[in-house]
Structure 1
């Protein structure tokens, strides 16, 4: 199994953990994908939501900052969805920073 397949499997398992109200286990899987710089939105979006729900603003901001870094790289490659996803994460990051204040 290649790296991308492992990451996709973690996202699927994370969804299942979330459905069964085991957000801590889901968060661990999503964190692993973020650490490996997964190039899709799922782990960043879901983890930011989990942390926001738990009132963990610092962690939410950290995850969104990671997403901005990754999608900045993706946008530079010319991938068609890169710029729109980058903008979406920048907006979420701005809102999270405002909420922290």
Structure 2
């Protein structure tokens, strides 16, 4: 438990605060968003479970169920790239390029919005070039 307290700014080793005061993981701006409409992590655990169910549905071959579940995550602006990647791939495999483009552009907008929590933003920044290239590929497919 001590490592959790240290991580989130609680007591340091042996009941002392770290030098310079407690260490905070969230910035004051991020702390203010907690529980508000701007908090993209509200319902994170439920969305994570939904994405797990979608992956299981894919594994069973129930692609329609997987699509429905991933669509919910995209509609709720899930902070991770996985549902966007999988949903776009599923639409692409069914030659639904406009749908694949819609999902890919949704992630690009979210990644560029600056609204993501810090760790998710770093991940989105790494994934963004891949999603932009994928969106361009879908645009070319729709033109031909």
Give the TM-score normalised by the residue count of structure 2.
0.65
The equivalent position to 2:102 in structure 1, one of 36, 51, 62, is 62
Q: Distance in 2 between matches of 1:77 and 1:21?
A: 33
**1:74 positional shift:** 4.5
Higher-Rg member (1/2): 2
Kept in 2: contact 1:11–1:30 (CA 8 A): yes
Number of residues paired by the alignment?
Answer: 100
Aligned to 1:95: 137
Offset from partner CA, 1:44-94 (integer Å, 9 cap, x none): 000001000011111111001101011112488663223221111111100
Aligned to 1:80: 122
Kept in 2: contact 1:74–1:82 (CA 8 A): no
Gap runs ≥5 in structure 1:
none
Structure richer in helix, relative to its length: 1
**1:52 partnered with 2:92:** yes
- Over the aligned positions, Cα root-mean-square deviation in angstroms equals 1.8
Aligned to 1:17: 57
Where relative contact order (Cα < 8 A, 6+ residues apart) is larger, the structure is 1
Kept in 2: contact 1:75–1:86 (CA 8 A): no
